[in-house]
Amino acid sequence: MSSLDLCDNHDCESCKPRRSAQLSEGLSKRAKAMTICQVQRQCRQGRVLLVANRKVYDCAEVLKWHPGGSSSILKAVGRDSTEDFEFHQASGKGLWEKYVICGIVKCKHAQYGYAQSPECNSCNIA
């Protein structure tokens, strides 16, 4: 076990929830914003992140309770899901606020704004 009390196997079912929680906590304390490139890289590493209304949401917990099922979240991972988010009623949108980890900013290196972009290796998590 590491100093984070996690094993080295990133697919370990026992450690996944703690690893996700620690990553979220670390990002929310350090990063005020991410680029879509950073969001997509985190998703390729197993994070369940979506972007909506210029905010980044960690949706790992949402998979367990979302009325539309986990597939409705998983199909939106790593992309701007503002249109899908706006489908929700005000009460539903309010439930999402506790999952915001940071804002989203434009990538200075890729000319694609906030939407999906090709891989940009110049963005680094702050």
pLDDT tens digits along 17-57: 665 665 555 544 556 898 888 888 899 899 999 999 999 99
pTM of the model: 0.66
Per-residue pLDDT at 59 exceeds 90: yes
Higher pLDDT, 116 or 86: 86
Per-residue pLDDT at 68 exceeds 80: yes
pLDDT at position 11 is: 60
pLDDT at position 41 is: 87
> For the chain, first and last CA: distance in Å?
26
Per-residue pLDDT at 12 exceeds 80: no
pLDDT tens digits along 82-100: 998 888 788 878 888 899 9
Separation CA 13–CA 100 (nearest Å): 24
H or E element in which residue 102 lies: strand 100-104
What's the whole-number average pLDDT of the chain?
75
Cα–Cα distances (Å) from 39 to 9, 11, 117, in that order, read 22, 20, 11
Cα–Cα distances (Å) from 45 to 19, 20, 83, 97, 112, in that order, read 11, 11, 25, 23, 22
Separation CA 61–CA 24 (nearest Å): 11
Q: Which domains does the chain have, with CATH numbers?
A: 34-104 (3.10.120.10)
Residues 6+ apart with CB under 8 A from 59: 48, 49, 50, 73, 77, 99
